[in-house]
Structure 1
């Protein structure tokens, strides 16, 4: 808000200053010049007569006449050599030609005495002093008036400023997941219409997210119950189904249950305020402990693990990290030809968990969409390998919750995904117990 006030104030002050300088320039060009010309005319008449009178008398009488005229005019008059005048060459040449020279620095008039190399100096003249000081006075008044503009501008902007601050605070709370945040601006506020629109949007957003959560919970309850009944009836089927038919039904039921599970996980990860159970893990040891579980997902395929060269500690939700790596490794095992490699290292202050397979890879034109939910790249992945297109979207959501990211390395043989997580946890949500189905 300070920036808004500063920009508005500087704009008003710049416009005022430009107008004042324009008016001052016009004044200086007209009134001041006319005043100087009038004064020069009066002095010119006096100096012409006086210098001519001095030229007609011997130089020995000059001091007396200078003193007499100075006393009658109430001004200081003196005589000096032309060559000793502290003037620029152009001014000396102008003076030597018999012209009257006004020197603003010491507020004096100067004119050469005809037929001599002497100069009559009058001053300092109070009027010239006043004109010289007037420039600084005008400049000081402009600065004072410019500063005084800040007070009325502040008074005018303060109500708007406070309203914008309340809107900003409510927007930040809403962004942090506090769905009950409202601006609640008073009706007399100039931003009341904007505040009411914001509050209405926040209410609709809260209702929408609450409805989605209710729908998700309903799906979890309503779909899991029929699955349990189907499994029970298959087990009690008389006569029993043929092993092949039973295996196919079990596979379809498992796929259906996996679909429900993935949708629930993705939905809960993208809630405004999912809780995280923060702990400290040494990633090399953690990966070694889970290697056997990952290997079980890919019978007949080789899974290699390359740990970090030094202990690599990370703070975050271990259960979510396990889910993310399960998705990456499981995805790689489904699509590889023979081998999957897992490498852990520290990269620019982040823990980098890289999973690489030797499969067909991902087409370059499809790489930008691969982390979107429900996206399946049929050109590079065979539909028979299973999956519903939520695995990588879940990995990205988990990475973002911990202040990290996931990226597809390329181009190269096979597909290579790197999960990047800050070594020191920079989570975007509150800590607590995370509930995953």
Structure 2
């Protein structure tokens, strides 16, 4: 059977629970019905016997009882028995010598119901004492025990009905749970077909707005995110391989030339060139390691940082050939990693110093329940079409390659990842002249809601 073949399945467990619940209810209901029917039949039999006995008791008290006593179905067992248990009068169906019962009701309780069984036969009778006198006779009126009470047919019927309805409840639960879990099985089957090499498949979404529909929708959304993440990882691996291949190939060429043509190649110059290439490789690898750490959880707990004080300190520490004008009020506190934020500020200030013509402006202002750090220069600026591309890994515009040939192309990508890890943003915004980067971070507590001015 399906239930026995898969005892651990949700469908089997739900069916078993439904069957046990139905059986429990039906057993209680069946027992109640059985007892109620038995009590009703027995009560009706006693009532009929009492009615017939009550009819003959005054007649017997006056001594006018005929022989045999007339009787009708179903109460056809009638006797008048004296104090010595001798049958005085009886109906045709009752014995003329043996009393129906040896019961003599006491004077203070003249009406007594009784069930008498002898020779495998039971009788439901009513005994009525004619008077409180010691020698008063007793009238017995009895009815043979109905078959419903004499046999267990009623119990058999209750058991059969309980089994039938329990099986029906189990079958209904099996079918309904199977239909309800059909979409889950379809989702499981589809997920089992999805592999890392092909994440384009999606699970079927059933109709409606129930839990299974929302589960399928969430699963598809997760698969979409996973597919995007895997695709980004592939692109990142491909781009990283390409970026590392060029300096490695150059380094190999320089070393081979130094070995093959020792007379034509200056060893000192070859070593300096190789060391510069190794330095660029080291910078790329370090930036890649930092990106990997940013993707993982930061083991160090965040700390409260006065962002204005931190910005002012970094501008002073960096110096630079181009003067910097700073507006960084204190009191604007954020929560985060000091070393990571120093890395962001260092990247932004280095870029601004590299491209500025005469001035770098840095400001710290409250904005939208947070604080915005703006770093602007008066250099050539970034074309609007490339303002998002500069945050991609290994993307370097022509102007950047010209001014810093040894850069890794990961500084702004790392800076944006750090901003996101602090629940903030880093964007390149419009500026009357030059480039303008805005770092927004949430304050520890709510702050002003006005945005900083877009111009400088």
Structure with the larger helix share: 1
State which structure, 1 or 2, has the greater radius of gyration over its C-alpha atoms. 2
Do both proteins adopt the same fold according to a TM-score greater than 0.5, normalized to the shorter chain?
no
TM-score (norm. length: structure 2): 0.41
